[in-house]
Structure 1
Amino acid sequence: MEKQTLPNSTLILVFGILSILGCCCYGILGIIFAVVAIVLAKKATALYMENPELYEGYNNVKTGKILAIIGLILSIIYLIYVIFLFATVGFEGYQEMIEELRRSAGA
């Protein structure tokens, strides 16, 4: 009998990678991609555990789940930092900090 690829195994891996990259977008995109990847990984793991001899691609699922957990943690940390930053200096102060960083990087 030929082994089938686990459903969404590649998608889980891609979403895990995107969750790490998405933490740079104020953490929101990273959280969304991470949660979707973790939910899909849970379903794929349950399917694999029922009949492991029928499926391949479980390594992609495990790797994607680990990346999604890392991305979720990074995104949550960054989101908390952004909320703290806006609460302390406000939006105008944040814009001034960004402008000062741009001036110092260009000089």
Structure 2
Amino acid sequence: LSKTPPVLITTFETVEPGTEGGITVLGEVAELGIAGVIGLLAWVLGMQSGSFSGINLFLAIAAAGFIGANIDSVLGATCETHLSWWGNNQTNLWATVSGCLSSVAIYFLMS
């Protein structure tokens, strides 16, 4: 969808669309927007607890989603292209774990 060619997240070299670890500004904005929508839904649905406010919940989820999505790109650019035994399933697993751990870390930093 982007009019500009993707760049590799690790070196910022221009790459072909579909290259593992390739990112665009439009893609990064979309990642942040989607993570924000999920954070907003959590806030609107009242998923905050205790002294952790709705706005903090929104910010923590949006940031963690953005971090996880970018970890996915980094792992794609590094592990998927350099390790024969590493595939997309491993990338997805560790990107999800990193997003989850990021949300926990952000929660404790904001509390």
TM (norm. structure 1) is 0.31
TM (norm. structure 2) is 0.30
- More helix per residue: 1
- The higher-RCO structure (CA 8 Å, 6+ apart) is 1
